[in-house]
């Protein structure tokens, strides 16, 4: 067996920790290894060059994790980027900001160019379908800031339903400020929140998604991503 083949079958410990869902990135894995929290076959290992074979038992703080062949990412999209693999309108896409290795990942829940916030991406098609298909009933939460004041009557109307051209739009709305509301939806019609607000005469100045399914991440900055586990979402 050549050195390259051996390295691919026996990954470095930091890569293994990421694949097992025990670390968010190789850099964070290196810090975890250096701290002495990782054991290899029962013995503490702090050598960053250590490799793992198929029979080794790796644990972090006594937990073994679960190896995954697929990639799962949470990404904080800034305003101005398009959620697309192609540049149909000439604008920059989220994949222009992500590492090239992620260029073929599928998107769970696109955001329009003027919206920002949490996105989930993965190479696992079944997972993406589970998150996005209407039958899964996965809710998403948004913070919406408007130019005009949001009245209590408007909040009540959102909860009752706003009639759009493609049917009634029901939003679970909570007023959290004079010009701010929290919106939770389970369906995902095109620009549904924007069209619902426009119908009631409200101009949205900021639309930010803060949760998909079970997953939220308040510490994730614009254009930042972290590796996640599918069970964090579903």
DSSP calls for 178-195: TTEEEEEES---TTHHHH
- Does residue 17 sit within a domain? yes
Note whether residue 65 is domain-resident: no
118 and 153 part of one domain? no
For residue 192, give both structure tokens: 């549904």
Question: Do residues 100 and 115 share a domain?
Answer: yes
The CATH number of residue 172's host domain is 3.30.70.1560
Q: How far apart are CA 35 and CA 60, in angstroms?
A: 11
In a domain, 67, yes or no: no
- Which of 30, 61, 96, 112 is catalytic? The answer is 112
198 and 224 share a domain?
no
CATH number at residue 53: 3.10.290.10
Query: 3-state secondary structure string, 38-81?
Result: EEECCEECCCCCCECCCCCCEEECCECCCCCCCCEEEEEECCCC
Residue 43 belongs to what domain range?
3-60
Read off the CATH number of the domain in which 106 is found: 3.30.70.580
Residue 81 belongs to some domain of the structure? yes
Q: Are residues 26 and 123 in the same domain?
A: no
pLDDT in tens, 60-79: 888 887 666 788 999 999 99
Query: What pTM did the predictor assign?
Result: 0.74
Question: Is 232 annotated as catalytic?
Answer: no
Tokens of 112: 């329009």
Are 159 and 101 members of one domain?
no
Residue pLDDT, tens place only, 119-150? 999 999 999 998 988 777 789 999 999 999 99
What domain count does the chain have?
3
Pairwise CA distance, residues 38 & 40, whole Å = 7
**Residues 51 and 159 both lie in one domain:** no
Q: Clarify whether residues 82 and 192 are in a common domain.
A: no
Average pLDDT over residues 143-171: 96
- The answer to the question of residue 9 being in a domain is yes
183 and 85 inside one domain: no
Give 88-103 pLDDT, tens digit per residue: 666 899 999 998 888 8
Task: Look at residue 66 and tell me if it is in a domain.
Answer: no
Same domain, 150 and 198: yes
């Amino acid at each position: 067996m050549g050195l390259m083949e051996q390295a691919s079958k026996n990954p470095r410990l930091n890569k293994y920790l990421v694949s097992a869902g025990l670390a968010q990135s190789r850099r964070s894995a290196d810090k975890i290894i250096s701290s002495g929290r990782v054991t290899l076959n029962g013995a503490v290992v702090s050598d960053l060059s250590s490799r793992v074979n198929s029979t080794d038992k790796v644990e972090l703080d006594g937990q073994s994790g679960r190896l995954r062949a697929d990639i799962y990412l949470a990404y904080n999209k800034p305003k101005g980027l398009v959620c697309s693999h192609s540049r149909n309108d000439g604008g920059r896409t989220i994949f222009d900001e992500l590492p090239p290795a992620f260029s073929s990942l599928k998107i769970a829940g696109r955001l329009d160019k003027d919206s920002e916030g949490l996105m989930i991406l993965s190479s696992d098609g079944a997972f993406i379908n589970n998150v996005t298909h209407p039958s899964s009933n996965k809710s998403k939460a948004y913070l919406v800031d408007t130019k005009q004041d949001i009245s209590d009557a408007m909040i009540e109307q959102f909860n009752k339903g706003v009639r759009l051209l493609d049917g009634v739009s029901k939003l679970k709305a909570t007023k959290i400020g004079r010009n701010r509301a929290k919106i939770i939806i389970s369906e995902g019609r095109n620009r549904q929140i924007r069209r619902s607000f426009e119908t009631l005469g409200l101009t949205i100045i900021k639309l930010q998604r803060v949760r998909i399914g079970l997953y939220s991440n308040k510490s994730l900055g614009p254009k930042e991503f972290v590796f996640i586990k599918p069970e964090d979402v579903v």
